[in-house]
A = this chain, B = another copy of it.
Amino acid sequence: MTTAHDYAHQNQERFQQQLIDLCRIPSVSTDPERKGETLQAAEWVAADMRKIGLNNVQIMPTPLHPVVYGEWLGAGPNAKTVLVYGHYDVQPAVTSDGWDQDPFEPTVKDGVLYCRGSSDDKGQMFAQLKAFEALLANGKPTVNVKFLIEGEEEIGSPNLGKFVAAHRELLMADVCVISDGSVIALDRPSIGYSTRGLMYLEMEVFGAKQDLHSGAFGGIVHNPAQALAEIIAQLHNPDGSVAVPGFYDHVVALSAAEREELAKSAWTDAEWKEATGVPAFWGEKEYLLHERIGARPTLEINGFVSGFYGAGSKTVLPGKALAKISCRLVANQNADQIFGLVRDHILRLAPPTVRVEVRQLASAGPALMDLNSPYMAAASRAYEKGWGQKPVYERGGGTLPILADFQRELNQIPIMLMGFGLQTDGAHGPNEHFVLEMFKRGIDTAICFFDEVGQIK
């Protein structure tokens, strides 16, 4: 351990008190009535950045909540630069959601800090900032750093892509680190190295010009709910794979080494069964359950509606039917291209007895990091030294649109997902909390990561 670690340990209580002060600010980005508090949190973060010695600290406006930026480039132009991403905004929370306390009155109990935002993402983001404070307070860091702390993550980062594109020079770095997630367990650290992309569409099937009496017209009209079901039933093959031609064309295959690595952190079938409660699993049999989620693209029906679905019976022949359909994508699939393939396939399947419309609603790219990059090795060593345990690598099934934004705009920058939270922290739910031991280990790990990156030639 370094003097920076000593500093962090000696100042741990002050860091916790600061985190408590930050958590107390109800920076709920989705709530127009909290616009003032959201700005207050941005100002609080900017003030701390200045206090610890970052330069060029700015509160940079976007159409809604500003981005807080601060940098330290004192390691010089030949040193590596780390871009740290985090967010100061939080999910909504009211006591009646099931909280045991005022969600914005931080409470520490048995080494756990309870407050909305404590884990997602104030605690994790702040660990990065405190790590760099410790480095700055103990000599000259060997890396440059740029902090980008946004205020719209919980509403889908609607302005971040444009912000990054407009500030490419300012933000350019060698590696990006994001602490806004979770490790498997306190004693089982893990690094995420991929996220899935997303393509979301809605399909609408039109039959008769209005709802009809099923007795007066049933038998001559192609029921649009039936036609929609018939189309949906043709979107998968019997083996669970997606039946859209070309769907898998650009999918990066799992290597044997990766499969071996992923197996280390995989849930057992019993754990998956417990989590889902399904009578039997489904999907591509040649892939293990965690591989289907992390490394394979999917096509899901997110919902549908047609005609009558209330209590009792109504003999209507519906005039239309609607389905929401989305694909989770993996590297190197392109969301817009996949939309085109799915749309064309649906329109090919559409019978002449109905009219079908397909509309794209959202798209986000997948991300896949190179497990063999020196930054990945640096992140692994950082957990090993700072956290105290060698991490395993994980593929996430969810989507982080900002990853694709960063990679597209910043020369395919490698992004390290170094979570310091736990899946059980209650992010987005009641009684969100952050284990203070993880706050401490997070700071230690972040210090190590900055050090490790500084040694990369």
Contacts and interface: CB of A to CB of B under 8 A. Distances in A.
Contacts of A354: 278-279
Nearest to A396: B215
A36 interface: no
Interface string A265-303: 000000010011111111110000100110010101111
Contacts of A321: 304
Given A229-B233, A293-B216, A398-B213, A282 B222 contact: yes
Nearest to A400: B215
Contacts of A77: none
Most buried by B among A207, A214, A234, A321: A214
A397 B218 contact: yes
B293 A316 contact: no
Contacts of A234: 233
A302 B328 contact: no
Contacts of A324: 307-309, 313-314
Interface residues of A, number: 79
A397 B212 CA distance: 12
Given A214-B326, A309-B322, A326-B313, A228 B225 contact: no
A300 B222 contact: no
A221 interface: yes
Interface in A328-363: 328, 351-355, 361-362
Interface in A203-261: 207-210, 212-223, 225-226, 228-230, 232-236
A328 B280 contact: no
Contacts of A56: none
A196 interface: yes
A128 interface: no
Contacts of A398: 213, 215-216
Given A303-B316, A306-B303, A220 B279 contact: no
24 contacts: A196-B215, A213-B398, A214-B326, A215-B328, A215-B396, A215-B398, A216-B293, A217-B293, A218-B328, A219-B293, A219-B397, A221-B278, A222-B278, A225-B304, A226-B232, A226-B233, A226-B236, A233-B234, A303-B305, A303-B306, A303-B308, A309-B323, A312-B361, A313-B362
Given A198-B315, A212-B276, A303-B306, 7 more contacts: A217-B293, A220-B282, A220-B283, A222-B282, A225-B303, A229-B230, A300-B315
Interface of A: 196, 198, 200, 207-210, 212-223, 225-226, 228-230, 232-236, 272, 275-284, 289, 292-293, 296, 298, 300-309, 312-318, 321-324, 326, 328, 351-355, 361-362, 396-399
